[in-house]
């Protein structure tokens, strides 16, 4: 019998029940279940307190940490040697693509302006912009990026995908200095690694043309917050952020009042459908583990 820890009491229902030969306890980030000495697979909760994952080193039979998230940077510092780490790549593709398109259209179609006019009882007729014909640079061209590209192309946008290394139809990260000035919209979907942290610095932002938009649905650490705030306050650029650095954004932070910014509290993938997909992926992973088959979405030592 394989023992697993689930992050919520609803997790088993979301995955449609446990596979044969697997039993589960629930660990929500507090006191450890009595199966501490037997657990082999842990799905850690999203909201575990900082440092709380250090307990992973106290689990003698732990072999696999399966995430219900795509990002792994919050777990890597606590992953014991010899323990496999797998993420939920594929579970959030549609949800995050929806968020990106929603925030881009919010900006281009001037929805905040019209919402304000509605509140004030003013008929504020004005022309707005369109996604059709725009060049969108998608930095971090994995499964979410590919899904997003398909949606954007329906609107008539020109999509340029960028990955860490060039491949068929996808540009390499070393080409970014030449690609950024061409983009009307830059979408960040890259993970936070040693190579990507702070990649969107003052120089990167200066390469974006006047009126361009930065959209970050990856990780807050990708962006130099001070440099972005300065560009927003100047009125030269626009932005949509679902992730920030720091996060959560503290009271009184300059981003709260920055003009030209759509700001959401890390909710791009937060709806019931992705969570059910993540749990279904975890269930299939349990079966692979039990059968000694290769795991999917395995994370390498550098984070991806």
Tokens of 122: 């003013």
Cα 4–chain centre separation: 25
CB 269 within 8 A of CB 71: no
Q: CA 254, CA 202: separation in Å to the nearest integer?
A: 17
Alpha helices in 109-172 (DSSP H): 111-120, 143-154
CA–CA separation, 275 and 270 (whole Å): 8
Number of alpha helices (DSSP H) and beta strands (DSSP E) in the chain: 8, 12
Query: Which one from 109, 236, 253, 266 is the annotated catalytic residue?
Result: 266
Catalytic pick from 109, 247, 253, 288? 247
Catalytic site includes residue 209: no
Whether residue 271 is preceded by a cis peptide bond, meaning omega within 30 degrees of 0, is no
| Three-state SS letters, 241-267 | ECCCCCCCCCCCCHHHHCCCEEECCCC
Q: How far apart are CA 19 and CA 258, in angstroms?
A: 49
Which parts of the chain are beta strand (E)?
2-6, 22-26, 39-42, 64-66, 84-86, 135-139, 158-163, 171-172, 185-188, 213-216, 238-241, 261-263
Catalytic residue among 107, 171, 197, 219: 219
Active site residue 266: yes
**In sequence order, which residues have a C-beta less than 8 Å from that of residue 289 and are 6 or more positions away?**
2, 40, 41, 63, 64, 295
Are residues 3 and 40 in contact, defined by beta-carbon separation less than 8 angstroms? yes
Whole-number Å distance between alpha carbons of 224 and 98: 25
The question of whether 247 is a catalytic residue gets the answer yes
Name the 3-class secondary structure at 84. strand
Residues with a known catalytic role: 219, 247, 266
């Amino acid at each position: 019998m394989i023992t697993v820890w689930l992050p919520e009491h609803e997790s088993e229902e979301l995955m449609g029940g446990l596979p044969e030969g697997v039993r589960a306890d629930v660990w929500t980030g507090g006191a450890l279940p009595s199966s501490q000495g037997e657990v082999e697979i842990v799905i850690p909760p999203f909201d575990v307190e900082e440092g709380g994952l250090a307990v992973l080193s106290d689990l003698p039979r732990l072999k696999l940490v399966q995430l219900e998230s795509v990002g792994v940077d919050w777990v890597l510092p606590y992953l014991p040697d010899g323990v496999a780490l797998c993420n939920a790549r594929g579970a959030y593709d549609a949800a995050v693509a929806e968020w990106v398109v929603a925030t881009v259209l919010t900006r281009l179609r001037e929805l905040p302006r019209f919402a304000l006019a509605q509140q004030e009882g003013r008929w504020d007729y004005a022309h707005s912009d369109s996604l059709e014909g725009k060049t969108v640079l998608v930095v971090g061209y994995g499964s979410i990026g590919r899904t997003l590209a398909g949606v954007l192309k329906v609107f008539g946008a020109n999509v340029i995908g960028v990955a860490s290394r060039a491949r068929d139809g996808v540009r390499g990260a070393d080409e970014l200095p030449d690609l950024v000035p061409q983009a009307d919209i830059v979408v960040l979907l890259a993970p936070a690694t040693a190579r990507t942290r702070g990649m969107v610095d003052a120089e990167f932002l200066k390469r974006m043309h006047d009126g361009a938009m930065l959209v970050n649905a990856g990780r807050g650490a990708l962006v130099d917050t001070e440099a972005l705030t300065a560009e927003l306050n100047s009125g030269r650029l626009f932005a949509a952020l679902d992730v920030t650095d720091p996060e959560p954004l503290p009271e009184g932070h300059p981003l709260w009042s920055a003009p030209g910014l759509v700001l959401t509290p890390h909710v791009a993938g937060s709806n019931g459908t992705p969570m059910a997909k993540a749990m279904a992926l975890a269930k299939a992973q349990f079966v692979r583990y039990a059968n000694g088959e290769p795991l999917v979405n395995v994370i390498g030592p550098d984070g991806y």
